[in-house]
Structure 1
Amino acid sequence: MNGRRGGDRSGGTPTGETSGRDWRTVGLVAGATLISTGLAAYEIVPASVTPLIRDSLGVGSSAAGLLVGVMFGTAVVTSLPAGAVLDRTDTRRMMTLAVLALFVAGVWGWIAGRSGSYWSVITSRAVGGVAYVVVWNAGIDIVSRAVSAGSRATAVGIFTASGPVGFAIGQGTGPLVAARFGWPAIFLAFTGVPLLGLLVFLPASRGLGGARGDAPSLAEFGTVLRNRTVWLAGALGFLSYALYLFINSWGSSYLTGEIGLSLAASGLLVSVFPAVGLVSRISSGLLSDRVFDGRRRPVLLGSFLIAAPLMLVFTRLGSIPLLVAVLLLSGFAIQLTLGLSFTYVREVVESHVAATAVAFQTSVGLAGAFLSPIAGGAVVDAAGFDVAFLLFGALALGGIALAWRAPEPVAG
């Protein structure tokens, strides 16, 4: 089933005006990416100081883990409603409100952490989860609308690279912030980054992202949910996020428990897996736009063709250099789909429901991120790492079958 790529409304413009627009586009992408990077750091940072949180609040591992997981869970529930709102309102205004909501959530979490109120911290993180999903969906929407079709996947790939960059910043600097100012300060530390990004984003995006007169009706909204290609793209995102979070969550435990490395060494080695996403998510768009002449399917298919065998053989490798190479290559391959699928899904629907399609993709993908560490842990406990990696390798094989059936968007 072929979808339709949302059309671009463009005409001839003088050279000077075009140059000015190019610089505004750079500012828009840079500002949106900076906002999202700060949010990603805020999202993951509690994981970097889990022992401090457990001791301070007197909670167990699962309760401490919920400080990260609650944001994924909130995003799954609120993404689709947020997308429907974005199709009907001013994207710039929604981005602004989301950044301000994050600032409130950061202050709230800091105060709640200092007072030792666990559930108040959780609630503040839920508010941050809503801010995250609005920024993610709105950022993809406005970046896609601002960039020409020939560079769209590249620009969206740059924006989605904010995820692994933010994760790396949060994981690396969280302990330093906690040591200097106390662990509750981690919730405040990254709220300034989105505010700085907003200062870049707002002037660059002036005139873009306004409320559209062709906002979808309820019936047209339903066409997104009835579109088979949208569901196929969602399934690809679900599988990619599941693979991504499984290795992020359990790779270090495998290297420590099965290979015998120290926890510090294991964490350092596994960090290369998300870190390579900076290259991968940008490359996904460049490969699609430049190497494959705008075709999306070859990149989606190649992502799973590379990832599947690497997952299947992972526990058969005893050499540290080989494991590092596999982590790098699998991290690169899996995140190709994470970078491109958001461009793909908005191109297989009509342009006026594109934000809703992106929101659907976010919701389904993050469901994979939410469930994967839980399901992976259950399999590890019940049957061991060999079976767990084989199971997730089988999921990657399923991704090959789905990507093989993925139609190319049709310009319209």
Structure 2
Amino acid sequence: MTGRPESGTSTVSEELATVESNWKTWGLVGGVSLISTGLAAYEIVPASVTPIIRDSLQIGPTASGFLVGIMFGTAVVASLPAGAVLDRTNTRTAMALAVLTLLVAGVWGWTAGRSGDYRAVIASRAVGGVAYVVVWNAGIDIVSRSVEESRRATAVGVFTASGPIGFALGQGTGPLIAAWFGWPAIFLAFNGVALVGLALFWPTSSGLGCSSSSAPSLTEFGDVLRNRNVWLVGGLGFLGYSLYLFINSWGSSYLTEVVGLSLGVSGLVVALFPAVGILARMSSGALSDQLFAGRRQPVVLGSFFVATPLVIGFTYFRSIAVLVAMLLVAGFAIQLMLGLSFTYVRELVDPRVAATAVAFQTSVGLAGAFLAPIAGGAVVDAAGFDTAFLVAGGLAALGIVLAWWAPEPANQQFG
């Protein structure tokens, strides 16, 4: 008679433990995703008010493009060292320090913007770039270790979707914040999102800060650098991120200066471009696995094939409905490739150097993200928007060529 109550009590305890575990898991994923969302919004928001910043600071298109590009440039340099440090330290603590670093960068950028000090604004953004790459690397690490293998891809997919969510938030609200509080306030506005994320992340991540993995060795790093296929997929990532950041950085200015939309409306329209990536990035793996039976190359090839004519033809239309449709389709196509690229490159190398391959892909992709706003501004300054979008379309066409030669991971053999 005494066995039944004990069994019932045990069942209830197990159910409560499961509920608590699920709360901690998804609280952690939600918290770290909010942190990343705040950083992504901070990262892109100057692009939404570029005309105002140029007039206020008396700078040209190239210099204004640097306001967005500098964060990616910093991340390119800091990504691999940050990953090596995170392998030897507590990622939970590193996440908290990154949020505090964002607060410092935001206040610094706000005061520098109010005083018209362009160099100080750039310096603050460079500090923000360090916070960004720490959050991204630490987030993927701790989310991967917080869930069982059967739910890992879903959890990491939710986290990576924070990028386009943050970009859409920054693009859509940046003009409103600038109108209400002055443009320097854009550097402070999204700190609150990161702080809310930290408040959710900290209590749910207890005990998950230390990684058991060791940092990649020099030999492992060399294996990746000598792998032709890794460089090929890295090139695809470079082109994809270049297109993504070019449109994010200069789409709003084009709609304002050429099409004649207000800054607020153009920001909301361009916000659709990263926003559709929420669906694209989370569905890219399922599309590859189910529709193409695990093949990666058709998805990447199709992404560039669809994006090329849309980017080239963007400046030939004035209809808002047509432009919105083009942004949605191009944004989905480009980010479908971005969402798959990290899985793609992992599968091209021996599993023991998979993490190194991902770190390499991150650095190469962010290099494209760094250069695109700056180079795009230089072309706009020298030859106008029509030529700039034509050059961007040429990059997309180059992506078709590279994707055609890209190998299938299933055909790779490792010793």
Q: Is 1:104 aligned to 2:130, yes or no?
A: no
Q: What is the DSSP-based 3-state SS (H/G/I as helix, E as strand, rest coil) of the residue aligned with 2:188?
A: helix
Q: Is 1:177 aligned to 2:181, yes or no?
A: no
- Report if the CA contact (8 A) 1:380-1:388 is conserved: yes
Q: Is 1:139 aligned to 2:143, yes or no?
A: no
Aligned to 1:406: 407
Q: Could you tell me how far apart the structure 1 residues matched to 2:253 and 2:182 are?
A: 27
Size of the aligned set, in residue pairs, is 398
- Report if the CA contact (8 A) 1:240-1:334 is conserved: yes
Q: Give matches, 1:85-96, under 5 Å.
A: 85-96=85-96
Aligned to 1:33: 33
- Deviation for aligned residue 1:148: 4.9
Q: Could you tell me how far apart the structure 2 residues matched to 1:121 and 1:312 are?
A: 33
Q: Which stretch of structure 1 is more off in the superposition, 378-387 or 131-140? A: 378-387
Aligned to 1:373: 373
Q: What is the DSSP-based 3-state SS (H/G/I as helix, E as strand, rest coil) of the residue aligned with 2:409?
A: coil
Deviations 1:381-405 (A, max 9, x none): 6666665545433432332343342
Deviations 1:160-212 (A, max 9, x none): 22222212222333344344444433322222221221222233333335132
Q: What is the DSSP-based 3-state SS (H/G/I as helix, E as strand, rest coil) of the residue aligned with 1:271?
A: helix
- Report if the CA contact (8 A) 2:31-2:198 is conserved: yes
Q: Could you tell me how far apart the structure 1 residues matched to 2:288 and 2:159 are?
A: 16
Q: Give matches, 1:243-392, under 5 Å.
A: 243-252=243-252, 260-264=259-263, 266-288=266-288, 295-314=295-314, 320-349=320-349, 353-379=353-379, 388-392=388-392
Aligned to 2:6: none
Q: What is the DSSP-based 3-state SS (H/G/I as helix, E as strand, rest coil) of the residue aligned with 1:208?
A: coil
- Report if the CA contact (8 A) 1:87-1:356 is conserved: no
- Deviation for aligned residue 1:127: 0.7
Q: Give matches, 1:67-82, under 5 Å.
A: 67-82=67-82
- Deviation for aligned residue 1:241: 1.1
Q: Which letter maps to 1:407?
A: E
Q: Could you tell me how far apart the structure 1 residues matched to 2:61 and 2:29 are?
A: 38
Q: Could you tell me how far apart the structure 2 residues matched to 1:16 and 1:343 are?
A: 35
- Deviation for aligned residue 1:136: 1.4
Q: Could you tell me how far apart the structure 1 residues matched to 2:212 and 2:199 are?
A: 24
Distance of aligned partners of 1:283 and 1:174 in 2 relative to their CA distance in 1, 3 Å threshold: same
Distance of aligned partners of 1:323 and 1:343 in 2 relative to their CA distance in 1, 3 Å threshold: same
Distance of aligned partners of 1:185 and 1:243 in 2 relative to their CA distance in 1, 3 Å threshold: closer
Provide TM-score, normalisation by structure 2: 0.81
% identity of equivalent residues: 70
Q: Give matches, 1:142-221, under 5 Å.
A: 142-148=142-148, 151-221=151-221
Q: Which letter maps to 2:261?
A: S
Q: Which stretch of structure 1 is more off in the superposition, 247-256 or 235-244? A: 247-256
Q: Could you tell me how far apart the structure 1 residues matched to 2:55 and 2:392 are?
A: 34
Q: Could you tell me how far apart the structure 1 residues matched to 2:151 and 2:289 are?
A: 6
Q: Could you tell me how far apart the structure 2 residues matched to 1:340 and 1:21 are?
A: 29
- Deviation for aligned residue 1:261: 4.1
Aligned to 2:130: 130
- Deviation for aligned residue 1:333: 0.6
- Deviation for aligned residue 1:155: 3.1
- Report if the CA contact (8 A) 1:138-1:355 is conserved: no
Q: Could you tell me how far apart the structure 1 residues matched to 2:350 and 2:97 are?
A: 27
Structure 2 residues without counterparts, runs of 5 or longer: 1-13
State the structure with more CA Rg: 2
Q: Could you tell me how far apart the structure 2 residues matched to 1:398 and 1:117 are?
A: 39
Distance of aligned partners of 1:268 and 1:211 in 2 relative to their CA distance in 1, 3 Å threshold: closer
Q: What is the DSSP-based 3-state SS (H/G/I as helix, E as strand, rest coil) of the residue aligned with 2:358?
A: helix
Q: Could you tell me how far apart the structure 2 residues matched to 1:222 and 1:341 are?
A: 20
Provide TM-score, normalisation by structure 1: 0.82
Q: Could you tell me how far apart the structure 1 residues matched to 2:319 and 2:179 are?
A: 35
- Report if the CA contact (8 A) 2:158-2:282 is conserved: yes
Q: Taking CA–CA contacts closer than 8 Å with sequence separation of 6 or more, which of the two structures ends up with the larger relative contact order?
A: 1
Q: What is the DSSP-based 3-state SS (H/G/I as helix, E as strand, rest coil) of the residue aligned with 1:214?
A: coil
Structure 1 residues without counterparts, runs of 5 or longer: 1-13
- Report if the CA contact (8 A) 1:284-1:336 is conserved: yes
Q: What is the DSSP-based 3-state SS (H/G/I as helix, E as strand, rest coil) of the residue aligned with 1:341?
A: helix
Q: Could you tell me how far apart the structure 2 residues matched to 1:320 and 1:349 are?
A: 45
- Deviation for aligned residue 1:331: 0.9
Deviations 1:233-258 (A, max 9, x none): 32121111112223334445555676
Q: What is the DSSP-based 3-state SS (H/G/I as helix, E as strand, rest coil) of the residue aligned with 2:30?
A: helix
Cα RMSD of the aligned pairs, angstroms, is 3.4
Q: Which letter maps to 1:262?
A: L
Q: Which stretch of structure 1 is more off in the superposition, 34-43 or 73-82? A: 73-82
Deviations 1:68-108 (A, max 9, x none): 22212211221222223233333222222211211222222
- Deviation for aligned residue 1:349: 4.6
Distance of aligned partners of 1:214 and 1:45 in 2 relative to their CA distance in 1, 3 Å threshold: closer
